[in-house]
Structure 1
Amino acid sequence: MKITAFSIKRPITILMAIITVIMFGFVSFFKLNVDMLPSFNLPMIMVSTSYPGAGPQEVESILSSPFESALLTTSNVKNVNSISSEGSSMIMLEFEDKTDMDFASMEVREKIDMVKGMLPDEVSNPMIMKMNPNMMPIMQIGISMKGKDLSSLSSWANDTLVPSLERVEGVAKVDLNGSRYQEIKVIINPDKLSSFGINPSQLAQLIASENINVPGGTIKEGDFNILVRTSNSFKSIRDIRKIRIPTPTGDVIKLKDVAKIKLGSDKSSGVVKINGEDSLLLSIQKESGSNTTKVSKGVNKALDDLMSTNKNLKVNSVFDQAEFINLSLNAVKTNAIIGAVLSILVLLVFLKDLKTTIIMAISIPISIIATFVSMYFSDMTLNMISLGGLALGIGMLVDNSIVVIENIYRLKKLGLSSYDAAIQGTKEVASAITASTLTSVSVFLPILFVDGIAATIFKEMALTVTYSLVCSLIVAFTLVPLLASRLITDDAFNKENKVIEKIKDKYFFVLKWSLENRKYIALVLVLSLLFGGLSLTQVGFEFFPTADQGIIYVDVTSPKGTNIDVVEKTLTNVSKKIGAIPEVETTASLVSDSESNSSIMLVLKNKKERKKSDSEVSDEIRNKLGNISGCKINVHSASSMMSMSPSSSPITISVSGYEFDTLEKISNDIIKKVKGVDGAVDIKLADEKNAQEIRVNINKEKAAKYGVTSQMVSQAIKQQLQSSKVSSFSVEGKNYDVNIYANEAKSSTLSDLLNINIFTQTNEKIELKKIATLERNEGYHSINRTNQVRTMTINANVKDKSLGKVVSDIEKSIKDYKLPNGYSISFGGEVKQMNESFSNLLLALVLAVALVYMVMAAQFESLLNPFIIMFTVPLAFVGAVLSLFILNIPISMPAMIGFVILTGIIVNNGIVLVDLINRLRLEGKPTNAAILIAGPTRLQPILMTSLTTILGLLPMTLGIGEGAEIQLPLAITVSGGLIFSTILTLVVIPVVYSFLDDTKNKLYSRFGKN
């Protein structure tokens, strides 16, 4: 080969080229972004609209329904889901994969604009947002400060802390939870106010009119234009107290005469406690494409700088994704290094020659370093999948070098010079090792037909393995023959390995017996396939392995309408109970501003410092909590990192139809059945009828008699029950809202509601009870719809079973349930994603098998030889399934990718064996004689290449280190399949070859063909 001859003639040139690649490789390595998993785009858009004061059914009919009708006509839209709750509508659009989301966003905006003009004035402008994985926080930090209450701390955090962190490179947004916003409370005395003939609406307008700062134009004075501004803005709370209010009788009173004015704060952004201490919680989001670990370092440095100037500032790192990423990636790097060392030791044990081992092993570091250059220019990141691809390929990187060096030495023994042997030896095997590499990488071509998350994972793995194998092929054509021509001695392969020789002798007799007793080998083959198929029915399935990140979430749902103080007290008690668990390091509780929903985030100690896994701690929490005061508890670990499901539960069952009562009955029936399924836990209906409401029924005749309209009634009730912002002002850079309250306690009784005064157009007042009655109802606090059909959702978690097994059992339990006409049941969440991804990967697997066959057919120029070699594929699959079954590991997306990769790897042993058998037969050897010579001859290289790959994967197979759960299914699949298939290949392939050759000869003789 010209490239080989050039390499041997120009060693300095090759050396400089290698140094250049290494230099660029290191630069690329340090410039690559670091993340847990590959970045991926969510083909989803959210439309959020608020309608203050409107109930769920009103929101459904006025907002969600017309929006859905318009949005369903959007190009490439798959599903339109909506949630109509009190005062807000949220619509989620799911698009086909590979949709141009920028164009889709524009089209959604056009559809919304078509409907917007028909909406009530109170409806906010719809907010359209493309969903992005980067919306999830990469860090959560609790802060408190000695000597400052939460109001002062909130002010400091908003003015100083948040801007400082948002200036850190890579930070997109900083959210602040638990803050107390200072406000000016104007708490009116309804009796005093009405005694002066003034209603709340008039008072609100008057306060707003007394706080103005409006430009009035310009005047000309000489050569200058001077701005004229009308300014009468509030400077202090005293200015508000002194506001003069004219009464209908002509008197003038001050605001303080009819209202109490004071500085206060509100829990409008929730209540946060870190380890039981009142705190603020910072959630840090990173910019798309930024380096998670660098962002984390930048944020921590900014916090250190602030702590150095604020000695009383206390910072508690609740969650830092970078810590888990660093631990996980370091574990993968360590495993890769150990795997490389083990692979090199295999070479040394077999060859017993240090120089030859070094020449072969040099392929590993150079190929890996060169791969980093390709990764950088492919805009990839260093993550669990890409590094896993490198770790997977480590043992395979020496395969080409082994073949090249072995052939070079063979020619040296025939008398060729080192120079000629290196060139000729490389040339002879060039097509073989190229074809072998092609079979290994051709399995990745089906990625073109794979969509969604499966494509993202598959692509990262495919590119890293392909880059590294292509680099190893180039090294085998250049550096290896160069070094071999100068370093390999004549006795490099003469050192007898007694163990290998004994194995060869034993193998010879086994092979001879097998050829003489082909029916028994056929029986073993059939039994293996049957046993593998049986094992497949017993292996569980899951979407993506959940790594033990040491984080557990406890969601506490209180009955709708529960007072925020009651929710806070409940959450404090729950935190104390679970905070006492030895494995728990930090508890962070958050009572959201929706009051009924709250959650606790538990951060566990490092894996090495605790005896229990996150799932075991979750079970302990469930046992400790049970049922708490009517609250619903949902305990779950950090959800699968590739899950796009909006639910935190892996199983969601949607019941679709039109009537609420029927939907609820069906849902409750399904829940009873699901509770009987082993492995299903935390089963609950997400849309229960638990929202208490009071319906005001207006007597229209009585209302008309007093000149009162429904809008007047609605406005009066709203003023009584809700605060309303009437103005705002700024003092020394701090902004204050001025809010009117009709009730200082912010709560009213039914009696208070009935006694509300409604002011007529003539400013007369009439009590509500004279024109209306009150009716207590229990309604739904949210209404869910999918493609314009109402749905109720049942959520469930999985315990001690695989996701696929639990779902299969649930399907069996409900298959005989008779649904009314117009109603249906469907599974969503991770189950839906798993089915879609597995369908894609199954197609990829079928195409991979076909491609491998076609590559081998082209190599051998034969249809029969590739067919013989393809028997290794089902054997490998049997070994992989048996390994997963024995180790109780479910088949997941990484395992499916492992099956695809295994297809390309496993045929190489068969290629080596069949190729030599064919050559010996061309030299005149009978079939069985050729087999008995080829088998023992190729035993050593087959064992070497298989063992280097298997031992290269050993650290991953043992599941060592943080995040190992992600790599484990892939490593088990590949190594298990390789071990089983290698053992049987050495016997089955020769037997199949012999049988098919005899069959071919019989057919030829029957039809008179030579």
Structure 2
Amino acid sequence: MGLTRFVLKRPVATVMALLCLLVFGISSVFNATLEQMPDTDQPMLIIMASYSGAGPEDIDELVTQPIEDQVGTIEGVKSMSSTSSENRAMIMLEYDYGTDMDDAYNDLSQSLDALSRQLPDDAETSVMEMNNNAGTTMMLSISNPSQEDLYDYVDQTVVPLLEQISSVAEVEAMGGKSEYYKIELQSDEMAQYQVTMSDVSTAMSTANLSYPSGDAVSGKLELSVSTSLEHETIEALKEVPITTSSGKIVYLEDIARVYEAEESRGGISRYNGEDTISISITKQQSSTAMDVSSEVQEVIESLEADDENLNIRIVRDSADSILSSLKDVALTLVLAAVISMIIIFIFFGDYKASLIVGSSIPTSILVSLILMTSAGFSLNIITMSGLVLGVGMMVDNSIVVLESCFRAIETEEDKGLLGYAKASLSGTNIVLQSILGSTVTTCVVFLPLVFLQGMSGQMFGSMGYVIVFCMCASFLSAITIVPLTYMAYKPQERMQAPMSRPMERIQNGYRRIMPGLLKHKAIIMIASVIIVIATYFLASGMETELMTADDTGTVSVSIETRPGLLSENADAMLTQAEEIVKGHPDVESYMLRYNNDSGTITAYLRDDRDMSTDEIVEQWETEMADLDNCTVTVEASSSMSFMSRSRGYEVILNGTDYDELQEVSNRIVAEMTARDDVMNVHSSIENTAPVVTVKVDPVLAAAEGLTASQIGSQVKQMMDGEEVTTLDVDGREVSVMAEYPEDEYRTVSQMKDIILSKPSGGYVALTDVAEIYYKDSPASISKTDKAYEITITADYTGGNVQSAIDSEVISPNLSATIKKGVNSMNRMMQEEFAALYQAIAIAVFLVFVVLSAQFESPKFSFMVMTTIPFSLIGSFGLLQITGVSISMTSILGFLILVGTVVNNGILYVDTVNQYRMTMDLKTSLIEAGATRLRPIMMTSLTTILSMIPMALAIGDSGSTTQGLAIVTIGGLSVGVAVALFILPIYYALMNGDKKRVVLDI
């Protein structure tokens, strides 16, 4: 080949080119973006709607349903789901992949604008895009024993500094207490002076203002004039005048107590059991966790330098887990390269041969890195795993060329530089067609993956490119670097190599076995087909999940408390859960965050823990099952946990009649609870609680000059109070709240004593215009495509009894109006699996096309491709043995297998065709296998053994790509036997004694 000849003639120019690759390759590593996983953007838009004071059922009827009716007809909407809860609703719209989301956003916004007049006056809506990378990037814990107003310091100093960082999208503080000025209204005095809360609110709104009043000239300057009124102290607030309905003036101190108070801000936050203020930081979508981490740490260092008592702990930093994951994959990459070189030494017995093939590895990796960064790909687990896969495959071409060069030098009389140069050139040319065919075959396999849409395309498209880069680079290395270094190093194949004698015995044994096998072709063919069919039955019963979650050593305990549970009772229950977490010896630290009836305890486990993460999860599930007034979910936390399978049983019921659906759900829960084979049975509607409903009579209210909105506003003011103004106190913004005493309107009986003020003057009792009663209400109402939805979950006490529960409990309770639904994760899994299976089918077709073109015969192409279904025996078998489920990564392994397992078949069939020019069919079949036994075993072993570190799931993120490695290892292992023992049978059956005719024109 001209390129090989050029390299052999111009070694210095070649070395300079390699030096450039080294420099640019290293530079590309430092300039690459580091991420945990590739960016994935789901075509989803989220509508957030708020309607203050409304319960879940009112939200569903007044807000959610009108929005669903309006937006459900928008073109391109694939599915719609909603959750209605107290004061708010969330409607998620899923679009088809490929939809222009900017146009979709505009269409949705216009549709909501047209709907605004049909919604309640106080209802507000907003649209936001789905961002899979919007999770917490960093979590901080802040404490300062010497500072009493810590929350105010954090809220007004720390948070603004963090928000100024360009890579930060959102900063949220939780926990701690904040000082505020409390105006405690006295009901008797207010009644005496005929003052309402509205009067107080109006007076306070004008008690602290600055109003522009024109311009004034001073000398040569024109100055702006403003009129201001400021009250910065409690004593000043007491003197605020209030005009009563009769026109009299009273002062605030006449009808209220004014004093400084404290209030909890943002719920409960504790770190290792100590009260703290926690800060969650979310990155911008266009930024990386590495950017956020470095800039946030600079701010922390600056703040701690200003106050030695300030203690800011970094509880969680995504950048650390990213670096740890990439280091694990890099270690796997190095191990794969070392293993490949050891295999070569074992077979050739010459360290120079190992170095020759080993030199092609960094060259191919550097070329791949340059192409990766040029294409805009980040360094993440998926792309780095592509490099690991590439290491095993990229040495295949080099091994075949090197082995051919060893064969070629045997025919050269000159054993000097010229002889090795000729051997390098002729050895490369002999196998050029084979390695080109195998390279192209592997590359075309990934073409469907590159063009895939959906989650799988976004997740693995970059890996497809990386492997194609690796294969192209390895082909160039095999026809340039290997011949050049072979000529330069002059390696000698050692007769005493560790594998020389074993290989000789294996070859002789192969020659003895094959004649017997060729005599029983029909039996072997039928038996092999039966085994393949049995394998597919084995695969049908295996567990499936979208993605295998990585083990980050973090456990998340999600707690949903009963709606309306008093804060002191919720805190006591949270303390019990904390004690369970704190008492575990494998827990290094933990963080509690709780607000609005839900919270999370995140436990960070020790690296040298005695129990696995899954074992700890199971233990805590059992220990926390008896906690009262709450639903507890314990799961291993990871970047892929939202795509991994649930650990227990889950069923979704849907229907159009919510009351009927509730009744059926409660019946199913009762039947499941009575069974011995399940435990921890929970329903998504179990956290119901009685709510107090104030039902306004519109006729009676109108007679008093009141509307339902005015009544609701006054009741809310009396129950919760109202922020009437804010003051600037010593540079701090202090809230001023007007509230009634805590024990004044706390009970339902006290609510019945509420007196409302009428716009026209005078008063009316709340009970004269409204009815007050109890009503059970769910914490939230869920729907999918307008059908109500209830989810029931449980854990198995023994083996998987899902089929028994489905047939004995679920099916008898289903009807024409109550059906079993499919959750979004299962639906996504079905879609992504179907897309990957389609990619595999296209890959098989492309391989057939390439092989047919290479052999100029569809028949030979079909022969080689018989290795594909047989290799699945090893893949499914090893998955079953290791207990690894079928996921997107394991299916990707099948795709890779299509392109790699045929390489041995290509080499074998190509050799048989060459031998048939001078030998009979039987001898050709046997000698081709014996001759190519060593390169087939070498290339297969390097690929298989180099992937063992990945199959062992080294590091926290190793389990994500473990399935891919196991599928490839199992398939290639069986593929070697198929190429050497089954393929000769099929060749003999399909080709007979006909010799191939090649036109010499």
Same structural fold, with TM-score higher than 0.5 when normalized by the shorter chain: yes
What's 1:98 paired with?
A: 98
Q: Where in structure 2 are the equivalents of 1:188-587 lying within 5 Å?
A: 188-219=185-216, 224-248=221-245, 251-415=248-412, 417-448=419-450, 450-488=452-490, 497-587=500-590
1:729 corresponds, among 717, 727, 730, to: 727
Separation in structure 2 between the aligned mates of residue 514 and residue 719 of structure 1, nearest angstrom: 91
CA shift in 2, pair 1:704/1:823, >3 Å: same
Separation in structure 2 between the aligned mates of residue 991 and residue 318 of structure 1, nearest angstrom: 62
* Superposition deviation, residue 621 in structure 1: 0.9
* Superposition deviation, residue 771 in structure 1: 4.6
Deviations 1:845-866 (A, max 9, x none): 1111121111111100001111
What's 2:766 paired with?
A: 768
Instruction: Identify which range, 188-197 or 296-305, moves more after superposition.
Output: 296-305
Deviations 1:834-884 (A, max 9, x none): 222111111111111121111111100001111111121111111000001
SS in 2 for 1:227: strand
Aligned 8 A contact 1:412 1:490 in 2: no
SS in 2 for 1:541: coil
What's 1:830 paired with?
A: 825
Separation in structure 1 between the aligned mates of residue 476 and residue 268 of structure 2, nearest angstrom: 61
Aligned 8 A contact 2:878 2:967 in 1: yes
TM-score, length-scaled by structure 1: 0.93
The letter for the 2-side match of 1:353 is D
Deviations 1:6-64 (A, max 9, x none): 21121111111111111111011111122221111121111212211123233223322
Aligned 8 A contact 2:199 2:243 in 1: no
Separation in structure 2 between the aligned mates of residue 269 and residue 850 of structure 1, nearest angstrom: 58
Separation in structure 1 between the aligned mates of residue 804 and residue 855 of structure 2, nearest angstrom: 48
Separation in structure 1 between the aligned mates of residue 215 and residue 647 of structure 2, nearest angstrom: 63
2:737 corresponds to 1:739: yes
SS in 2 for 1:922: coil
Instruction: Identify which range, 507-516 or 792-801, moves more after superposition.
Output: 792-801
2:936 corresponds to 1:934: no
The letter for the 2-side match of 1:981 is G
Separation in structure 1 between the aligned mates of residue 95 and residue 297 of structure 2, nearest angstrom: 38
Separation in structure 2 between the aligned mates of residue 56 and residue 999 of structure 1, nearest angstrom: 79
What's 2:66 paired with?
A: 66
The letter for the 1-side match of 2:931 is T
Aligned 8 A contact 1:213 1:229 in 2: yes
CA shift in 2, pair 1:159/1:746, >3 Å: farther
CA shift in 2, pair 1:659/1:50, >3 Å: same
Separation in structure 2 between the aligned mates of residue 740 and residue 296 of structure 1, nearest angstrom: 41
Q: Where in structure 2 are the equivalents of 1:625-644 lying within 5 Å?
A: 625-638=624-637, 641=640, 643=642
* RMSD of Structure 2 on Structure 1 (CA): 2.8
What's 1:957 paired with?
A: 951
Deviations 1:637-689 (A, max 9, x none): 215617369x9988764322232220112223444566689997654222347
The letter for the 2-side match of 1:618 is V
Separation in structure 2 between the aligned mates of residue 697 and residue 927 of structure 1, nearest angstrom: 93
The letter for the 2-side match of 1:886 is I
Structure 1: which 5+ runs fail to align? 1005-1010
What's 1:966 paired with?
A: 960
Aligned 8 A contact 1:539 1:885 in 2: yes
SS in 2 for 1:214: strand
CA shift in 2, pair 1:218/1:120, >3 Å: farther
Deviations 1:427-479 (A, max 9, x none): 33322211110111211111255332211232122122111111011111222
Aligned 8 A contact 2:57 2:777 in 1: no
Instruction: Identify which range, 882-891 or 171-180, moves more after superposition.
Output: 171-180
SS in 2 for 1:230: strand
CA shift in 2, pair 1:999/1:431, >3 Å: closer
1:185 corresponds, among 169, 182, 185, to: 182
CA shift in 2, pair 1:210/1:489, >3 Å: closer
Aligned 8 A contact 1:721 1:743 in 2: no
Q: Where in structure 2 are the equivalents of 1:710-721 lying within 5 Å?
A: 710-721=708-719
Aligned 8 A contact 2:726 2:733 in 1: yes
Deviations 1:534-575 (A, max 9, x none): 321332212211222111122222221111222122111220
Aligned 8 A contact 2:184 2:257 in 1: yes
Aligned 8 A contact 2:349 2:493 in 1: no
What's 2:161 paired with?
A: 164
Aligned 8 A contact 2:744 2:750 in 1: no
SS in 1 for 2:964: helix
CA shift in 2, pair 1:715/1:947, >3 Å: closer
Aligned 8 A contact 2:870 2:975 in 1: yes
* Superposition deviation, residue 222 in structure 1: 6.6
What's 2:152 paired with?
A: 155
Separation in structure 2 between the aligned mates of residue 881 and residue 697 of structure 1, nearest angstrom: 62
2:748 corresponds to 1:750: yes
Separation in structure 1 between the aligned mates of residue 248 and residue 689 of structure 2, nearest angstrom: 46
Aligned 8 A contact 2:549 2:960 in 1: yes
Separation in structure 2 between the aligned mates of residue 865 and residue 494 of structure 1, nearest angstrom: 37
TM-score, length-scaled by structure 2: 0.94
2:987 corresponds to 1:990: no
Separation in structure 2 between the aligned mates of residue 367 and residue 227 of structure 1, nearest angstrom: 70
Q: Where in structure 2 are the equivalents of 1:775-786 lying within 5 Å?
A: 775-786=773-784
Structure 2: which 5+ runs fail to align? 414-418
The letter for the 2-side match of 1:103 is D
Separation in structure 1 between the aligned mates of residue 29 and residue 745 of structure 2, nearest angstrom: 60
Separation in structure 2 between the aligned mates of residue 112 and residue 516 of structure 1, nearest angstrom: 76
Separation in structure 1 between the aligned mates of residue 592 and residue 218 of structure 2, nearest angstrom: 62
Separation in structure 2 between the aligned mates of residue 509 and residue 515 of structure 1, nearest angstrom: 11
Deviations 1:38-95 (A, max 9, x none): 1111211112122111232332233222222222233322122222222212211111
Aligned 8 A contact 2:151 2:176 in 1: yes
Separation in structure 1 between the aligned mates of residue 820 and residue 264 of structure 2, nearest angstrom: 40
* Superposition deviation, residue 136 in structure 1: 0.3
Separation in structure 2 between the aligned mates of residue 204 and residue 578 of structure 1, nearest angstrom: 46
What's 2:898 paired with?
A: 903
Aligned 8 A contact 1:654 1:828 in 2: yes
Instruction: Identify which range, 676-685 or 786-795, moves more after superposition.
Output: 676-685
The letter for the 2-side match of 1:597 is S
Aligned 8 A contact 2:866 2:983 in 1: yes
Separation in structure 1 between the aligned mates of residue 37 and residue 715 of structure 2, nearest angstrom: 52
Separation in structure 2 between the aligned mates of residue 800 and residue 292 of structure 1, nearest angstrom: 41
* Superposition deviation, residue 501 in structure 1: 0.5
Instruction: Identify which range, 248-257 or 485-494, moves more after superposition.
Output: 485-494
CA shift in 2, pair 1:137/1:501, >3 Å: same
Percent identical residues? 29
CA shift in 2, pair 1:429/1:806, >3 Å: farther
The letter for the 1-side match of 2:825 is E
